[in-house]
A and B are shown apart, each in its own frame.
Chain A
């Protein structure tokens, strides 16, 4: 024990987490110093009061309401005061301020997209994810990854180009094993495949455009990390669809992949500056090429 100040040991002393030598240091210090003994007494009171704090009663019917409705629809059907609060928070999240540089980037990107004929506007697009197709693609990737994820419709993408568009997976102990793109233009789908190093594989599909909530099953509605989401199972697959600021992510994993998927949710980038920077850079290259 290298603590030179015996006060560093006081709380561990109270919690009986010291060895005998350390306990002797505390005892001797308090015997020699009234100030230290008073400090130890104060900490004893603080600890005692913390441990005496009463239980906190939830509002009447709070858990009964959750039990009746189940977690899957909990947020959508909570008691009125809770539901309105969550709705308000989502509204706040959607209204949050955007740095001016990002606004400028979005403006430039919008012009670029218009030039290329994507004038319908990504923001106006709504998605109903092709769950069956995604589950099938995931199953193939999970069985024979990564080669099977490459098909006539889906082509590998260099990870350097797409790494900002999906979760890193690192917080969940996952490694991105491949990235693939299918479709084209505003209808393109990016698939990220993550592995835990053994049998655990999760696919994350990214599509520009918000989830078309009117066509999603209300009973599967949840809120994840402040975003509208839908959670369901299809056969052996656990599926989580989440709308992050107008970008649709569909996660597909096995039934035991819930915790890892929860962690991935916190890493979803949404409409991220990385994508906008790429578009912006492309726009600049176009301008340079045509001499403007």
Chain B
């Protein structure tokens, strides 16, 4: 997830995006939604938007553009769900973090990514979106500001509050892995 800037000279076809960037889209979508059903729904929605938006795409930061579409589609879906609540649970059964203190150090460390994904879902969606764009996609603050059309100060604030909340949620596990 570190190659954020694709060839700026070339506008990819929809097929190239699905084939070459599908895994990227799937990963970002999963980090945002936390479950595979919603991830697949989101990726399909994103590809529809990509197909319709390619005519307006200006070559440049392709992953930034794709992550913007993914994030906006995710936030749209969240807003729709708030209007029409559905039950959506993460796929990971061990989302309850209170179980971690009994695990040994190695297990806690090994399961940190799972706990981290679960903790991400505890964040307000707006914060989660910005944290994912920064830490999963790897965008700079000004790039996130451009892609989401929010001030840089808001990006900075959401990243700070988002990561601080993650630290708070993960504190028992971090303490354990610290020994």
Contacts and interface: CB of A to CB of B under 8 A. Distances in A.
Listed residue (B24, B52, B55, B80) with the most chain A CB atoms within 10 angstroms of its CB = B52
A154 B15 CA distance: 42
A86 B41 contact: yes
A259 interface: yes
Contacts of B19: 63, 67
A104 interface: no
B156 interface: yes
B95 interface: no
B164 A50 contact: no
For chain B, give the interface size range.
35 or more
Interface string A80-117: 00100110010011001000000000000000000000
B97 interface: no
Contact of B160 (A12, A52, A55, A59): A12
B117 interface: yes
Contacts of A54: 113
B131 interface: yes
Interface in B28-86: 30-31, 36-37, 39-41, 43-44, 47-49, 51-53, 55-56, 76, 79-80, 84, 86
B84 A15 contact: no
A222 interface: yes
A170 interface: no
Tell me if A's interface is mostly helix, strand, loop or mixed: helix
A74 B135 contact: no
Given A12-B160, A51-B138, A63-B22, 14 more contacts: A11-B156, A11-B164, A17-B140, A49-B113, A56-B39, A67-B15, A71-B14, A78-B44, A82-B41, A89-B41, A96-B84, A222-B48, A262-B53, A266-B76
**Which 6 residue pairs across A and B have the least CB separation, nearest first?**
A258-B52, A50-B135, A63-B22, A56-B30, A58-B26, A11-B160
12 contacts: A7-B164, A11-B163, A17-B140, A42-B167, A46-B116, A53-B31, A53-B113, A56-B31, A59-B36, A59-B40, A93-B84, A256-B56
Interface of A: 7-8, 10-12, 15, 17, 39, 42-43, 45-47, 49-59, 62-63, 66-67, 71, 74-75, 78, 82, 85-86, 89, 92-93, 96, 222, 224-226, 231, 255-256, 258-259, 261-262, 266
